[in-house]
Every structure is written in C-alpha cells, then in structure tokens.
Amino acid sequence: MDCLLCSPILYIFLIFLWYLVRILLNRNLSFPPGPRGYPIFGNLNLRNELSHRGLAKLAKQYGGLLHLQMGRIHIVAASTSEMAREILQVQDVVFANRPANVAISYLTYNRADMAFANYGPLWRQMRKICVMKLFSRKRAESWASVREEIDLMVQTLIEQSGSSVNVGELVFALTRNITYRAAFGSFARDNQDKFVKILQEFSKLFGAFDITEFLRWMKWFGNRGFNKRLENARESLDGFIDRIIDAHIDKKKSQKQDHDGLDDDMVDELMAFYSGENGERCNDSQSSSLRLTRDNIKALVMDVMFGGTETVASAIEWAMTELMKNPHELRKLQQELADVIGLNRQFHESDLENLPYFRCAMKETLRLHPPIPLLLHEAAADSVVSGYSIPRDSRVMINVYAIGRDGSVWSEPDEFRPGRFMLCKAPDFKGSDFEFLPFGSGRRSCPGMQLGLYAMELAVAHMLHSFDWKLPDGVSSGDLDMTDMFGLTAPRATRLIAVPSYRLKCPMAI
Ligand code: HEM
C-alpha cells in the first residue's frame, strides 16, 4: 500500500483524471473565442504573446473578448471599449480582485499592500489612507516634492544647455527622487542607490515567467534558484525599510506634543496608523480605527515606489519623444506657451489652466502610450460577459493600449494628433469614457492620478517652455525608435537623447 501511495504513476494518473474531469465540466461552458490549445498545456505556446501588443494582434483575429487557456489558468483579454465597460463598470465588483503569482505574493508580504490586496475590507482601508492622506491635494508635502525636484531638473538642463542629454535617464531619476523624497523625506537619502537596486530586482522578479504558476505539478522539479532570489530580495528590502521605520518610531517618541507635522513624509503618515508589535500606537491622537502592521507599511511604500515612478517617467519620456518625432506639434505647443506666458519668466503651475493645447498633447501621449497598457484583474466569481462564460479566478486583462488605438473609435489611431482632444465631445481620462483608460476605471482605478498627472504636466511644461529641443547631429525625427519594453509598465525601449538650449529671455537662474 505504502509503495502504491509513493508511486509517481499514481500521481500522474490522478493529474490526468483531474484534467479529464475539468475538460468534461468545461464542455458545457462557452468561453470567449481563442486559439485552440494543446491538452494539459493549453495555449502555453503563446506565452510570449501575453503583452499588450501580442494580445492586440490576437484580438484582431479572435475579437474583442479573447480566451486563452494557459495550463490551469484561464486568461481573458478585453480589447474594446464595450468589453472594458462590461468588466470595469457593469460587473466591477466581480472583477475587482487582482491576480498575484508566487513572486508577487511573497514580495508584497502576502498581499499586505493595496495594489495586490483582494477587494475587501483591508484593501478599502488602505485605499482610504492613500486617497485621503498620502496622495491627497491636502498633503502639500507630496506636491511640494514634485515642484522642488522639477526645479532641480531644470537647473541640470540649464547646466547642460547645448549638449546631448539622456532625457530618459533624467526623467527616471526625477520621478525616483520625487517618490523617494515623498516617501522617506530626508531619511536615508544617502542610500537611495541601494534602494533603486532593490526596486530593480523586485521589478524583474514580478515580471519573471514562472511555469509552476500554470502547471502546478512542475513544482516537483523544484525552482530553488528562483526561490532564493525571492528570499534575498525581501531580505534586502526588510534591511532597508525596517531601519527607516525604526528611525521614524524614535522620531515620533522624541517629538514634542505641539509638533506641527510640516516636515512629515509618507512613512510618518502611515506610522499614525501603526499598531506596533506589542499593539502600541505611535500616535495617540489618531482616533481612527484603522490599524496597519509593519508589513502593510513596507508593502504600501513599495506600491508608491512602483505606482509613482515608472508610470510618470515613462509618460514624460513618451511625451518628449512624440514631440521630437512630430516637430510641427512641438512648435505649436511652444508657441502656445510663449503666447500665454511670454518668454520673460518661467512657467508656473497656475499657467496650466490656460494651456488647452498643451494639455491635449499630454492626453494624446497617454492614449498612444498608456504607462500601464494592460490592466490586471481577476474574477472573484463565475460570470458571464457578452454571453461568454468567465470562470472564477480567471485572469482578466483589459488592453488599454489596444482600446486607445482602436481604428473603429479613433481616426488615424497610430498618429500623434493632440487636436483630436480639442473637440467638444472628446473623451476624458477620469474613467467614464471607456475608449480612453490610461488610469483605469472603477474601484481599482489609479488613486495617484492627480499627483501623477501633476508631475507629468509640470515636468513637460517646464522642459518645453524653458528650452528649445533638437535631436543630436545626424539623427532625424524619422529615425526615432518608437518600440516599447513590456513589463509592469511600457517605457520606451531605448532612452531618448536630445539637445536642449535655453530659450527664455530672463536670466538662467542656476
Ligand atoms: C501618469 C501616471 C500614472 C498612470 C498613467 C497610472 C495608471 C494606473 C493604472 C492604469 C492603474 C490600474 C487601474 C486598474 O487596474 O483598473 C493604477 C493603479 C495604481 N496606481 Fe497609478 N498611475 C499613475 C501614477 C500613479 C502615482 C503617482 C501613484 C502613487 C504615488 C500611483 C499609485 C497607484 C496604485 C497604488 C495603484 C493600485 C490601486 C489599486 O489596486 O487599488 N499611480 N495606476
């Protein structure tokens, strides 16, 4: 008997039996159209197509709601505005969960954050803290860190005026500085490079393809190298953030009662909800019933880092790239800036409301290059969309990239035409126009939208108002590579290099 139980043949037989039962159970379900798969493996041969571009290509063949069977996991991709509305609005509650693989679960302290927490009370509490406290307009420090870091970037550009600048690296450094400073204030500033390395490793691990996710039995073959990398990555983060949290606890203990909170960073804000290891509170004045653990705080800080860094940087770099590729649009924007502000002073954020064409160009950038091109959701229950069955736990991807370039909705969909957003019925990005969803829609839509947009608009407006831009000698606008690199976000595959020259009549203030 013992021998039979240990026999691999028994396990293989049980796996086949399980697949057989699943096939029989699934026979009466009509999934959305999709390519035929192989037994057991399903469509795993198409795993390289699970990007916004790959899925857009498949949608052309199979339609706006596409089904792929990846081993044990059902994947459904929505590529039209009607399907997006059905998932994000009509059946929002059913699709408000996020999928998480082993790497994501482990690195987010078992989904102790907001971005990967399942829809429910914990997520709701954390979302409230983020929206009301961290990303709110009322939290002046977050917005001040955007302004101050952009001023520093403008100074760097002034110093490099007339020479080639790696715009991509510059704006990635800018947004890293903004989020780092908003999160940690002046703490551990010297260790920023170390933290960036931790973030890069996290990003690689989040995106790594793990076959055991789709074929659980592959775990038998072990994946010790990958597990070790996960452990090391989390240990590095613990080492880094635990020290920062401890320093914040000490700071709070030594603070006077009448502390005005003016220099508080995001960790300070989160510490107000911290219920320490022994249940002690950090801030007695907080009457709220919300409680955060150390793991919640660490995972939320990572959300801010991931949510706020690459998204904004990629949007700024794409805006500058499209303008370098379309010099007539660049001239139009600069003319508007000159007409509204003049060339005798620098741009100020209050000018934004008088720059309609500029703002349309930012929208057009987000339409063509949504920083998060695929929205990742998961079905919390069996459901039916457009007459097709979507089983519980299916991964549901909304292809914002494909929707933004849908030729049946947008004229000349692949062209950069900011003027299209000047029309009176043009869609907005607030989540109710499903043909344009750069910030998502519904319960899981972006809570950092205002802050992200503010950073994007401020950075690009300063760059265009204070400087003229040209491509380095020997490079023409037609040479610009417009391919992107797919990961958690979709930044440009190669960094943009361009030459700024100061164009204002007021003296350069270095
Ligand atoms: C141009 C800038 C940005 C864009 C285009 C953007 C876009 C998005 C999108 C598309 C989603 C997913 C929506 C969905 O699944 O339906 C999202 C979620 C999120 N974003 Fe942003 N984002 C930006 C900036 C920011 C900033 C600055 C922060 C924070 C500082 C942030 C934090 C988050 C978080 C935490 C989530 C997860 C929300 C949840 O699951 O409940 N984002 N963002």
Question: Is residue 227 a part of any domain in this protein?
Answer: yes
What residues pair up with 390 in beta bridges, in sequence order? 383
Total domains in the chain come to 1
* φ/ψ of residue 452, rounded to 5: -65, -45
Which of 270, 230, 214, 223 has the alpha carbon at shortest distance from 110?
Answer: 230
Contact 246, 184 (CB under 8 A): no
E strand or H helix at 384, and its extent? strand 383-385
Question: Is residue 123 a part of any domain in this protein?
Answer: yes
What distance in angstroms lies between residue 447's CA and the mean position of ligand 1's atoms?
6
Contact 113, 100 (CB under 8 A): no
Question: Is residue 164 a part of any domain in this protein?
Answer: yes
What distance in angstroms lies between residue 198's CA and the mean position of ligand 1's atoms?
20
Question: Is residue 508 a part of any domain in this protein?
Answer: no
What's the DSSP call for residue 369?
A: S
456 lines ligand 1 (CB under 6 A): yes
> Cα(230)–Cα(202) distance, rounded to whole angstroms?
8
> Cα(80)–Cα(77) distance, rounded to whole angstroms?
10
Contact 500, 66 (CB under 8 A): no
Q: 10 Å Cβ neighbour count for 411?
A: 8
Domain hosting 253: range is 80-385+410-502
CATH of the domain at 494: 1.10.630.10
The two beta strands, 374-378 and 73-78, are unpaired
What distance in angstroms lies between residue 306's CA and the mean position of ligand 1's atoms?
9
Contacts of 95 (CB under 8 A, 6+ apart): 87, 88, 377, 378, 379, 380, 383, 396
pLDDT in tens, the chain (510 residues): 455 566 777 777 777 777 667 666 666 679 999 999 998 899 999 999 999 999 999 999 999 999 999 999 999 999 999 999 999 999 999 999 999 988 999 999 999 999 999 999 999 999 998 988 888 888 877 888 899 999 999 999 999 999 999 999 999 999 999 998 888 887 666 778 888 888 888 888 887 788 888 888 877 777 778 889 999 999 999 988 888 888 888 887 777 655 655 567 888 889 888 876 554 554 544 445 778 999 999 999 999 988 999 999 999 999 999 999 999 999 999 999 999 999 999 999 999 999 999 999 999 999 999 999 999 999 999 999 999 999 999 999 999 999 999 999 999 999 999 999 999 889 999 999 999 999 999 999 999 999 999 999 999 999 999 999 999 999 999 999 999 988 878 999 999 999 999 999 987 665
What distance in angstroms lies between residue 189's CA and the mean position of ligand 1's atoms?
25
Nearest CA to ligand 1 atom 15: 375
Question: Is residue 163 a part of any domain in this protein?
Answer: yes
pTM above 0.85, yes or no: yes
E strand or H helix at 459, and its extent? helix 449-466
State in Å, rounded, how far the first CA of the chain is from the last one. 82
The two beta strands, 497-502 and 388-390, are unpaired
> Cα(313)–Cα(29) distance, rounded to whole angstroms?
43
What distance in angstroms lies between residue 405's CA and the mean position of ligand 1's atoms?
21
Pocket test for ligand 1, best of 127, 372, 397, 446 (most atoms within 8 A of CB): 446
Length of the chain in terms of residues written: 510
- Tell me, what's the pLDDT at 364? 98
Amino acid present at 224: R
- Tell me, what's the pLDDT at 507? 77
Question: Is residue 29 a part of any domain in this protein?
Answer: no
- From the CA of 315, give the closest atom in ligand 1: 1
Question: Is residue 271 a part of any domain in this protein?
Answer: yes
What distance in angstroms lies between residue 311's CA and the mean position of ligand 1's atoms?
8
Contacts of 426 (CB under 8 A, 6+ apart): 360, 420
Please check if 446 is assigned to a binding site. Answer: yes
Which of 328, 315, 399 has the alpha carbon at shortest distance from 79?
Answer: 399
The two beta strands, 374-378 and 388-390, are unpaired
- From the CA of 116, give the closest atom in ligand 1: 40
- Tell me, what's the pLDDT at 291? 85
Helices (H) and strands (E) in the chain, counts: 17, 9
What's the DSSP call for residue 221?
A: G
Half-sphere exposure of 397 (CA within 13 A, CB side): 24
Helix (H, G, I), strand (E, B) or coil at 78: strand
Long-range CB contacts for residues 346-350, cutoff 8 Å, separation at least 24: 346/154, 346/462, 346/465, 346/466, 346/504, 346/506, 347/461, 347/462, 347/465, 347/466, 349/147, 349/454, 349/458
436 lines ligand 1 (CB under 6 A): no
3-state per-residue secondary structure call for 7-53:
CHHHHHHHHHHHHHHHHHHHCCCCCCCCCCCECCCECHHHHHHCCHH
- Tell me, what's the pLDDT at 421? 98
Amino acid present at 472: P
Contact 400, 373 (CB under 8 A): yes
> Cα(187)–Cα(197) distance, rounded to whole angstroms?
17
Task: Please provide the DSSP assignment of 403-443 as one string.
Answer: HHT-TTTSSSTTS--GGGGGSTT---SSSS-TT--TT--ST
- From the CA of 371, give the closest atom in ligand 1: 5
Which of 454, 474, 440, 477 has the alpha carbon at shortest distance from 78?
Answer: 440
Pocket test for ligand 1, best of 114, 432, 439, 460 (most atoms within 8 A of CB): 439
438 lines ligand 1 (CB under 6 A): yes
440 lines ligand 1 (CB under 6 A): yes
Q: 10 Å Cβ neighbour count for 275?
A: 15
The two beta strands, 395-399 and 73-78, are parallel
Contact 272, 237 (CB under 8 A): no
Question: Is residue 93 a part of any domain in this protein?
Answer: yes
